[in-house]
């Protein structure tokens, strides 16, 4: 039995290692396009930009660690096609790679700006270690850095660059920061941290065009022109689902899979953020761009590869670190929730209730200890008393 995993990022590594833990015998081949051994991405917008070489959060093992686990690691190799009938991959070096079962863990790539001037070499994106090193090498005191997009990555880069002494301007088309995933009060909190640190934050301010000059970039925005030495485009990610589409697998902004990570083809699976996963409770497929899904959805995939079902049914969770503060986001952040704040000094938890007073989501500010009781409250669907939720002296676990 030979399992081939395409994509040697976090989800690929986790699938390979979990699979080895479940099955000592099978051949496991992990193929990555980058020259880097697998790594987790959260440090790229923080520690790597700040000059750390091997922050522990990378979870980057030496290439030799894979041989010890009898996982064959093939780096710098791009898979160009899948022949499902012949159970074979084509690689860019002309190699043909046979498989019995296949896992696509190809991740996502940075979304590009489609406006004039976006091809200038001073316009960068941040997705890979190479991207982070290239960006980090250019950040220096006094550099005028513009960031298009006040999402998680844009804001983390703004915080890191400010710490390095750059003069940072953030341009956001929406009327608040991180609008996609936090309630208004949390946007306001983040907004305040950035402005206090000296970031020029322009909201409702889309970037319209880029005019590359010899000395700098001129950025035309909805609110006038800005001069910048460097522009980071941080406007989201696009799943790398083309291989699956070309092979005839169902794809809708991500590879459609069941709760075990299986595609429409019984021997082909998708892992991590390229997967659009069936969520029975929601009655739809959902794609997640989080460390969590890359870490834990491969548990379902590895089990299914061994003939055991361990459906993926986690409550969505992610986090951001900015200015030494940690914000964790749990569950749903849709419009229409009523947000209730609980404070214990600087630690704060904001809880989102639906119309039936059931917990749907939460924001934890330097308060990660609340995550587990809140997960239980969300999963239980229990109706809550608002006054008890607000009371910081009542431990959340007592409300479970």
Q: Closest CB to other proteins among 209 and 292? A: 292
3-state secondary structure 301-340: HHHHHCCCCCCCCCCCEEEEEECCEEEEEEECCCCCCEEE
Q: Closest CB to other proteins among 117 and 361? A: 361
Whole-number minimum distance, CB 221 to other proteins, in Å? Answer: 36
Record the tokens describing residue 284, joined without a space: 């739809």
Q: Closest CB to other proteins among 40 and 172? A: 40
Whole-number minimum distance, CB 292 to other proteins, in Å? Answer: 9
What is 250-316 written as a DSSP string? -BSSSEEE-TTSB-SSTTEEE-GGGEEEEETTTTEEEE--SHHHHHHHHHHHHHHHTT------PPP
CA distance 13 to 268: 17
Whole-number minimum distance, CB 54 to other proteins, in Å? Answer: 12
41, HSE (Cβ side, Cα atoms, 13 Å): 30
CA distance 217 to 119: 12
Whole-number minimum distance, CB 42 to other proteins, in Å? Answer: 9
Record the tokens describing residue 187, joined without a space: 């946007």
Whole-number minimum distance, CB 74 to other proteins, in Å? Answer: 23
Q: Closest CB to other proteins among 67 and 238? A: 67
Record the tokens describing residue 58, joined without a space: 């990378």
Q: Closest CB to other proteins among 17 and 258? A: 17
* Residue ranges in contact with other proteins by CB under 8 A: 14, 40, 55-57, 59, 291, 295, 319, 326, 367-373, 397
Q: What are phi and psi of 191, to 5 degrees?
A: -55, -45
Is residue 74 within 8 Å of 240, Cβ to Cβ? no
Whole-number minimum distance, CB 11 to other proteins, in Å? Answer: 13
Among 152, 149, 139, 166, CA closest to 201:
149
Q: Closest CB to other proteins among 151 and 373? A: 373
Whole-number minimum distance, CB 346 to other proteins, in Å? Answer: 12
Rg of the Cα atoms in the chain: 22
Q: Closest CB to other proteins among 57 and 239? A: 57
Among 204, 213, 187, 121, CA closest to 322:
187
């Amino acid at each position: 039995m030979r399992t081939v995993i395409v994509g040697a990022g976090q989800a690929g590594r986790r699938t390979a290692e979990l699979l080895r833990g479940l099955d000592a015998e099978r051949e496991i081949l992990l193929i990555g396009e980058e020259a880097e051994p697998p790594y987790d991405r959260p440090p790229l917008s923080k520690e790597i930009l700040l000059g750390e070489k091997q922050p522990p959060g990378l979870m980057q093992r030496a290439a030799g660690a894979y041989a010890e686990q009898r996982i064959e690691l093939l780096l710098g190799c791009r898979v160009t096609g899948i022949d499902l009938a012949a159970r074979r991959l084509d690689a860019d070096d002309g190699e043909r790679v046979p498989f019995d079962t296949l896992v696509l863990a190809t991740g996502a790539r940075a979304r590009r700006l489609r406006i004039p001037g976006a091809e200038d070499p001073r316009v960068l994106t941040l997705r890979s270690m190479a991207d982070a090193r290239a960006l980090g090498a250019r950040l220096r005191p006094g550099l005028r850095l513009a960031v298009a997009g006040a999402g998680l990555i844009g804001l983390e880069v703004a915080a890191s660059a400010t710490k390095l002494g750059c003069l940072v301007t953030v341009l956001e088309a929406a009327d608040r920061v991180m609008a996609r995933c936090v309630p208004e009060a949390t946007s306001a909190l983040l907004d305040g941290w950035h402005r206090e640190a000296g970031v020029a934050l322009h909201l409702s301010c889309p970037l319209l065009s880029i005019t590359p000059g010899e000395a700098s970039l001129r950025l035309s925005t909805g609110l006038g022109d800005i001069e910048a030495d460097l522009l980071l485009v941080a406007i989201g990610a696009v799943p790398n689902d083309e291989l699956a589409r070309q092979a005839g697998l169902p794809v809708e902004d991500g590879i459609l899979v069941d709760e075990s990570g299986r595609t429409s083809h019984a021997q082909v699976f998708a892992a991590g953020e390229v997967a659009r996963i069936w969520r029975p409770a929601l009655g739809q497929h959902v794609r997640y761009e989080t460390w969590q899904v890359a870490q834990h959805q491969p548990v379902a995939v590895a089990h299914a590869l061994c003939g055991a079902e361990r459906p993926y049914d986690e409550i969505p969770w992610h986090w951001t670190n900015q200015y030494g503060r940690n914000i964790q986001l749990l569950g749903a952040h849709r419009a229409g929730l009523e947000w209730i704040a609980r404070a214990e000094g600087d630690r704060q938890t904001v809880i989102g209730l639906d119309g039936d007073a059931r917990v749907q989501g939460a924001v934890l500010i330097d308060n990660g200890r609340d995550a587990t009781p809140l997960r239980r409250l969300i999963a239980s669907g229990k109706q809550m008393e608002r006054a008890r939720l607000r009371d910081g002296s009542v431990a959340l676990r007592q409300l479970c």
